[in-house]
Structure 1
């Protein structure tokens, strides 16, 4: 039996104003890095500490199977 792959995701809605993207990656640090890049693309040169905290708070661990079922 194959072990189910785990991933991490962050739904940017409500975290980065105006963003509707869901960021997924294999590690929490990669999701965090991508979220920072997304915020910069959306005009945030300096990210408030509260936004960085929300990145961490709103990141969730998901299974690959649940992602495929939703997509």
Structure 2
């Protein structure tokens, strides 16, 4: 399981996104950003999604 706290990355987002893969977390983050009015997902924002996604260890 992977997790991303999108606060500080996506303006106005207070959500923690969780999914089974890092790719799915990034996909959900992109959808969340668009829902919050971000028109263009920059390469820098995508990099932030990837680097701030953490694997949850059991």
Q: TM-score range by the shorter chain?
A: over 0.9
RMSD value over aligned CA atoms?
A: 1.0
Which consecutive residues of structure 2, in runs of 5 or more, have no partner in the other structure?
none
Tell me, which stretches of 5 or more residues in structure 1 are unaligned?
1-6, 66-71
Q: Is 1:34–2:17 an aligned residue pair? A: no
Matched pairs, number: 58
Higher Cα Rg: structure 1 or 2?
1
Alignment equivalent of 1:61, drawn from 52, 55, 58: 55
TM-score (norm 1): 0.76
- Between Structure 1 and Structure 2, the one with more helix by share is 1
Is structure 2 residue 4 aligned with structure 1 residue 15?
Answer: no
Normalising to structure 2: TM-score of the pair? Answer: 0.92
Query: 1:48 Cα shift?
Result: 1.3
